[in-house]
Amino acid sequence: MSTRTALPRVVLHSADIARALTRISHEILESNKGPENLVVLGIPTRGVTLAERIAALIGDIAGDPVPVGALDVTMYRDDLHRNPTRTPRPTQIPPDGIDGKTVVLVDDVLFSGRSIRAALDALQDIGRPAAVRLAILVDRGHRELPIRPDFVGKNLPSARDERVNVHLAEVDGVEEVTIAS
């Protein structure tokens, strides 16, 4: 008896991703009442690319550049014993830091919430933001921790054994979100 793996199904195309990021950028600006004291930090790998895009969109909309950076959470994860081969990426905090700022954490997929918990721990070691908001391209559910995004590109109900993959042109050479068994 052979087991067949279903081919990945595209759930977001390039134009869908662009629309979602534009909407998220507008929502962030509205929520923050402008770009003042805003810092956008992406969680590597694809969260950084998404954060850079969101910061650029906010800058274009508001007419003011928004500081953007990267927040590596590798050493703050609670699953390192299961996956010790993770390679830490550089954390890059904008020169003015995060103290007293509204930090928008950006990641590609929200699943259990554990990466975001690790990001909150990492932020605590860097400074004391006035507020932390969460922007996610895809929220697939199945939370294990009480974490909820403030800004969501797409809610994508999924089975626990399905895999949601975000592919971005800058990282993968293709722009889409797929789901597969």
**What's residue 79's pLDDT?**
75
Encode the chain (181 residues) as per-residue pLDDT tens digits: 545 567 899 999 999 999 999 999 999 999 999 999 999 999 999 999 999 999 999 999 999 999 999 999 998 988 766 766 667 889 999 999 999 999 999 999 999 999 999 999 999 999 999 999 999 999 999 999 999 999 999 999 999 999 999 999 999 999 999 999 8
The token duo for 46 is 């694809």
Determine, yes or no, domain membership for 3: no
Output the pTM of the full model.
Answer: 0.93
Max Cα-Cα span within the chain: 60
Of 46, 42, 33, the residue nearest 67 (C-alpha): 42
DSSP 57-114: HHHHHHSS---EEE---GGG-S-TTT-TTPPP---B--TT-STTSEEEEEEEEESSSH
For residue 181, count other CB atoms closer than 10 A to its CB: 13
The pLDDT value recorded for residue 78 is 81
Asked whether residue 92 is domain-assigned, the answer is no
CA distance 70 to 47: 8
How crowded is residue 25: how many other Cβ atoms within 10 Å of its Cβ? 25
- Predicted local distance difference test score (pLDDT) of residue 70: 98
Q: Which of 55, 75, 73 is nearest to 65 (CA)?
A: 55
**Residue 52: both structure tokens together:** 């850079």
What interhelical angle do 46-62 and 14-32 show, nearest 10?
60
Domain tally, the chain: 1
Per the structure, the complete domain to which residue 52 belongs is given by: 15-74+98-161
Tell me whether residue 114 is in a domain.
Answer: yes
The one-character DSSP state at 158 is -
CATH number at 108 reads 3.40.50.2020
Nearest CA among 95, 24, 106 for reference residue 73: 106
Q: Does 46 map to a domain?
A: yes
Structural domain contains residue 81:
no
| pLDDT tens, residue by residue, 53-77 | 999 999 999 999 999 999 999 989 8
